[in-house]
Amino acid sequence: MLIKKPSDISPSEITPRETYRDRRRFMQQMAGLGLGGVLMGATGTAVAGYGGKPLNFTPSTKYRVDEKPTPYEDVTTYNNFYEFGTDKASPARRAHTLEPRPWSVVVEGACAKPGRYDLEEILKPHPLEERIYRFRCVEGWSMVIPWVGFPLGDMLKRFEPTAAAKYVVFETLYDPEQFPNQRGRVLDWPYLEGLRMDEAMHPLSLMVVGLYGEVLPNQNGAPMRLMVPWKYGFKSIKSIAKIRFVEEMPTSTWMRANSREYGFYSNVNPRVDHPRWSQQSERRIGEWGRRKTLMFNGYGDEVAHLYSGMDLRKFF
Ligand SMILES: Nc1nc2c(c(=O)[nH]1)N[C@H]1C(S)=C(S)[C@@H](COP(=O)(O)O)O[C@H]1N2
Ligand SMILES: [Mo]
């Protein structure tokens, strides 16, 4: 059992705010040195509930990019989460209205085990691991983030998708009380994204419940969000409340908003420009100058085979 219900947490397990901050700074240094694993594995306590509580996890040895992680401060204050506003600072300022517990996820469509699942129930069988991934937003900035989660495919398999399941659709919770900007019409709510089934089952696709060793802060998509590191950031949908297995390729929120600018695949590709800007380089948050953007965000060895024979200009 990796995650306790808030009611299972005794007062002695609740660490004072100061300690969290020190621990976070410590982990940030360790992650930067590539030492995160060893030490973090030893310090984990099984506590969960709300952003900032430490998680129990194993550091992945395989999935750790050898680049300096973006500071915690930037990861949690420079966000895209249109349900809280369209500027980068609004999510951190406004996401306190989101209540990530209790939470449930509806599973429907082409599978043998549809239903409404309680979050704790859905997470329980999955050991958590830390992976350090590159993350590239379609707008041209990037970060390196130590996520905590588990392979998305491991969860999807438990719902026993049928042969008709060619794609999987994810939806963010629709509740204007919790997500105040859903009262406006900047996007067609709820936020919706999808993956082809083989993309979803790929071992790199991660279901994320934490970052920097701690429970996911609201602004980063609590309680559970996707992380598909070879695709532009908008594919990595936050605060997931619905999973649906379907036969036809879905129309995502961003395709609906502007199908000329945003395609279904949205693989990071420096050779296919956005209609309004080049995708050849990126600004790594916290660095000066720009870096070259890598094909599939640097994950080509692992994922290029998923698209063999496809014209990636057409299927952008
Ligand atoms: N529900 C929802 N998910 C979302 C978004 C959003 O506005 N709403 N923004 C996307 C975009 S454009 C990016 S770049 C990433 C940002 O994730 P981060 O704030 O954790 O860095 O979340 C993605 N997931
Ligand atoms: Mo983005």
Return the domain boundaries, the chain.
58-307
Backbone phi, then psi, for 109, in 5-degree steps?
A: 90, -150
Predicted confidence band of residue 46 (pLDDT cuts 50, 70, 90): very low
| pLDDT exceeds cutoff 60 at 90 | yes
DSSP structure string for 34-66? T-HHHHHHHH-----SSTT-B---EEEEEEE-S
| pLDDT exceeds cutoff 70 at 308 | yes
Identify the CATH homologous superfamily for domain 58-307. Answer: Oxidoreductase, molybdopterin-binding domain (3.90.420.10)
| pLDDT exceeds cutoff 80 at 50 | no
The number of the ligand nearest the C-alpha atom of 193 reads: 1
> Quick one: how far is CA 315 from the chain centroid?
23
* Burial (0-12, 13-18, 19+ Cβ within 10 Å), 288: exposed
- CB of 282 shorter than 6 A to ligand 1: no
The number of the ligand nearest the C-alpha atom of 80 reads: 1
Centre of ligand 2 to C-alpha 31, Å, is 24
Q: pLDDT above 70 covers what percent of the chain?
A: 84
pLDDT of the residue at 232: 98
> Quick one: how far is CA 192 from the chain centroid?
14
Q: pLDDT above 90 covers what percent of the chain?
A: 84
Query: Which of 80, 147, 224, when mutated, tests ligand 1's pocket best, judged by the most ligand atoms within 8 Å of its CB?
Result: 80
pTM for the whole structure: 0.89
Task: Give per-residue pLDDT as tens, 151-204.
Answer: 999 999 999 999 999 999 999 999 999 999 999 999 999 999 999 999 999 999
| pLDDT exceeds cutoff 70 at 45 | no
Task: Give per-residue pLDDT as tens, 216-249.
Answer: 999 999 999 999 999 999 999 999 999 999 999 9
| pLDDT exceeds cutoff 80 at 35 | no
Cis preceding-peptide flag for 223 (omega within 30 of 0): yes
Q: Which ligand 1 atom is nearest residue 135's CA?
A: 21
The number of the ligand nearest the C-alpha atom of 257 reads: 1
Query: Which of 236, 243, 282, when mutated, tests ligand 1's pocket best, judged by the most ligand atoms within 8 Å of its CB?
Result: 236
Average pLDDT score over residue span 128-146: 98
